[in-house]
Amino acid sequence: MTEESPKWKRFEKKAFEIQKSLSAASADVKYHDSIYGGDSKRSRQIDISIRSRIGSYPVLIVVECKDHKTPVNVTHVENFIQKIRDVRANKGVMISGKGFTKAARNIAEQHDIDLRRLIDTETVEWGDDVSVPFLLERTYMASCSLEVHDFIELPLQHEKLLALELKTESGERVGAIQDILHQKWDSHDVPHLPGTHRVVIGTKLYNDLTGVVQFGSIYASVVVEQAYYSGWVPIHFEGFLNVKSGGIITRQLLTGVISPIAIEKGQIPGWKQIKDPSRLSPSPAFCVGYSDVYLPGNRPPEEVNPAWPGASGESNRSGGRCS
């Protein structure tokens, strides 16, 4: 059985794999390179080297990996500065598993050295709990009013009127007013934009509520509103943390599970509804917009108010659509 590599070596290989995945296909990325030093007159060991070209000019970037139990100190950065000069590199990057001391960060900034912290959220060795601020933007039908023409007799109650079954002149079933409206919402015939929108439910439709066939036209004025929810979502990735800016450098990022309906109901700790997203601090790293969806076959019983999402009609909304 092959003995497992020491942790520091696994750290270097992990950093190399990530860096190679982030580099352009034309770049030459090498692990454990050896570069001749112009001042020392000897070969210098380089953890990771990256060679590329900008136009006709060659570019050399050298990377130093330090997987210490404590943050990298200023002495290690100073030694790396000498190595950069010796091999005539255009740029130096230091990657740490535990970060850098303040003095190390100061001198690195003075010499234009990029500092990175390796994070692999799926490992114990270099994992970390990383969460980012999220903003959810829900668009939904808040209310509606109906405009009815030419029918002789109709239900007085709003919820019963919405449940009124309609047919075409040929007798083909069209559905209840509320179902037609929900279909138009799902198909975006009702604009998913805040404001009041007039929608044609149908013309020359009939029903036999009173036992007499009666024809008419129905229109709806739909009020569309937006609601905002702010919270933090864990993320999973393999990459680098930019020590100076706090930004994440990775090829792929996976968020934790987001359940809009549970968030709306206040069932997810740390999430809250807000009025003005522009006043959030820190600003959200991600903004996800979604619209309510009304799927066929999910109408509540007649005794339940089937009108709109809200205190009595929440059961009518079946899900959310992210965009």
What CATH number should be reported for the domain holding residue 62? 3.40.1350.10
Residue 311 domain-assigned (yes or no): no
Residue 169 within a domain: yes
Q: Is the pLDDT of residue 251 over 50?
A: yes
Whether 104 and 36 share a structural domain: yes
Say which residue, 204 or 315, is predicted with more confidence.
Answer: 204
Residue 300: the pLDDT is 44
Q: In terms of domains, do 153 and 200 share one?
A: yes
pTM above 0.85, yes or no: no
Let me know if residue 256 belongs to a domain. no
Residue 61 located in a structural domain: yes
- The residue range of the domain holding 165 is 145-220
CB 16 within 8 Å of CB 48: yes
**Together in a domain, 115 and 23:** yes
- Do residues 105 and 53 both lie within one domain? yes
Alpha-carbon span 116 to 65, nearest angstrom: 9
Q: What is the pLDDT averaged over residues 218-225?
A: 92
The residue among 311 and 241 whose pLDDT is bigger is: 241
Between strands 165-167 and 248-255, the pairing is unpaired
Domain C-terminal end among 189, 220, 251: 220
Q: Does the structure show a pLDDT above 90 at 305?
A: no
Same domain, 101 and 188: no
Indicate the Cα dihedral angle 11, 14, 19, 20, nearest 10°.
140
How confident is the prediction for the chain on average, in pLDDT? 86
* pLDDT band for position 313 (cuts 50, 70, 90): very low
Task: Name the CA radius of gyration of the chain, rounded.
Answer: 31
Tokens 């993320």, located at residue: 235
> In this structure, are 114 and 164 located in the same domain?
no
Number of structural domains in the chain: 2
Alpha-carbon gap, residue 48 to 140, rounded angstroms: 52
